[in-house]
Amino acid sequence: MKQVRIGIIGARGRGSIAKYWHKPDSRSVVVGAADIYPERLEEFKADVNPEAFVTTDYKELIAREDIDAIAVTSPDFCHEEHAVAALQAGKHVFCEKPLAITVEGCDNILRAWQQSGKHLMVGFNMRYMNMYRTMKEIVDYGVIGEIKAVWVRHFVGWGGYFYYHDWHANSKNSTGLLLQKGSHDLDIIHWITGRYATKVSAFGSLDFYGGDKPNDLTCPTCDERPTCTEASPGHLIECAFREEVDVEDNNMVIMELEGGIKASYLQCHFTPDYQRNYTFIGTEGRLENNELENKVYVKTRRSNTERELSNRVYEIKEAKGSHGGADPNICKDFVDMILDGKQPVATPIAGRMSVAVGCAATESIRSGGKVVQVTQAPDLAAELTGSGQ
């Protein structure tokens, strides 16, 4: 195979990354898309490939012999069904994060992946951002010694628009935003420390959004639109204060990772600014980023090595492409994985473990903050050979 032929399930939204795969004169081409909304399919053809096969039935897409790989960019609650079906149809799969909205859903995808013999990649594009790749490199070089503590603050300044004006705001569709939005942050904690969380305790609540507005109320039809602080500025139009909203907008998670590393994670959806602030404290120093300045700071402590002689500031270089240049790179890696056998930066197991932590934290919140053990990944090799029975 010299060129990967890709089909997209979920033509708009995150499906917009299709443009990075559609390179007819190179190593990948987008030949089809499925979406339940016909108008989105027409937009897809206009923006990506006018000759693409389009359908409102994803099963027609994955059944095509002229498609080698499927990108699952549909809503979160569809990931399990779409990814499993594509793998069982013999397609390589790129699945946008989170891998699924339950641990069981993730494990079903992993089993289908192992049985298929095909490639599976999770859409953890933050691993491809220059900021976090730099932080990973600093830690891996031992600059701050052995990590013992992690502190993460995620200020979701556009949280209302992104997550409370559509399907995300109902737990049946997302489980909760610690899983949906937090899966990136939980994964970065796992990736940079090199350890998975083993247990969590969490507290959270719906402090700002939700309320008593009718579930069918939309911003364009609302009399309060001129004075509402959350009036939708774009195409997501469901009222953020409707009755069905039931996912927490203010969360705090305390975690213990393998090796006894302590970590905390704050996620708030009604802050005025948007940024992620990570701090890693090791036996020889502290590492912290500032997204607004586009810098990473290292402060060292006495270590009886030359590392203690200076503090350091890293100025992160800008990269072209959406999500800070991450999207074109993760799309390229998916193609390289299929054609060249290149190992992905994030394993499917990593995708499963971020969901497992998000589910455990959500369970803790909704049961009064009790300590919840994070379910560890199944031994897929043993299951396939029968020794895991």
What would the pLDDT profile of 231-264 be if each residue is shown by its tens digit? Answer: 999 899 999 999 999 999 999 999 999 999 999 9
User: CB-based contacts of 231: which residues, under 8 Å, 6+ apart?
Assistant: 219, 222, 225
User: CB-based contacts of 317: which residues, under 8 Å, 6+ apart?
Assistant: 130
Cβ atoms of 287 and 279 within 8 Å: the answer is yes
Q: How confident is the model at residue 389 (pLDDT cuts 50, 70, 90)?
A: very low
Strand arrangement, sheet containing 120-123: 53-55, 28-34, 4-9, 69-72, 92-96, 120-123
Q: pLDDT value at position 387?
A: 42
Cβ atoms of 136 and 143 within 8 Å: the answer is no
CATH level 3 topology of 127-209+245-315: Dihydrodipicolinate Reductase; domain 2 (3.30.360)
C-alpha–C-alpha distance, residues 331 and 124, integer Å: 11
- pLDDT average, residue stretch 106-116: 97
Locate the domains of the chain by residue range: 127-209+245-315
Distances 269 to 9, 32, 39, 174, 265 between C-alpha atoms, Å: 28, 35, 31, 15, 13
The pTM of this model reads 0.95
What would the pLDDT profile of 278-324 be if each residue is shown by its tens digit? Answer: 999 999 999 999 999 999 999 999 988 888 899 999 999 999 999 99
Flag whether pLDDT at 383 surpasses 80: no
Q: pLDDT value at position 386?
A: 56
Q: pLDDT value at position 382?
A: 63
Q: Spell 343-373 as b/e; 16+ CB within 10 A means b.
A: ebbbebbbbbbbbbbbbbbbebbeeeeeebe
Q: How confident is the model at residue 388 (pLDDT cuts 50, 70, 90)?
A: very low
Cβ atoms of 96 and 73 within 8 Å: the answer is yes
- pLDDT average, residue stretch 121-140: 97
98: preceding bond cis by omega (within 30 degrees): yes
Flag whether pLDDT at 82 surpasses 60: yes
Distances 16 to 63, 331, 363 between C-alpha atoms, Å: 22, 12, 33
Cβ atoms of 300 and 311 within 8 Å: the answer is yes
What would the pLDDT profile of 24-65 be if each residue is shown by its tens digit? Answer: 999 999 999 999 999 999 999 999 999 999 999 999 999 999
Share of the chain above pLDDT 90, in %: 92
Q: How confident is the model at residue 356 (pLDDT cuts 50, 70, 90)?
A: very high
What would the pLDDT profile of 172-231 be if each residue is shown by its tens digit? Answer: 999 999 999 999 999 999 999 999 999 999 999 999 999 999 999 999 999 999 999 999
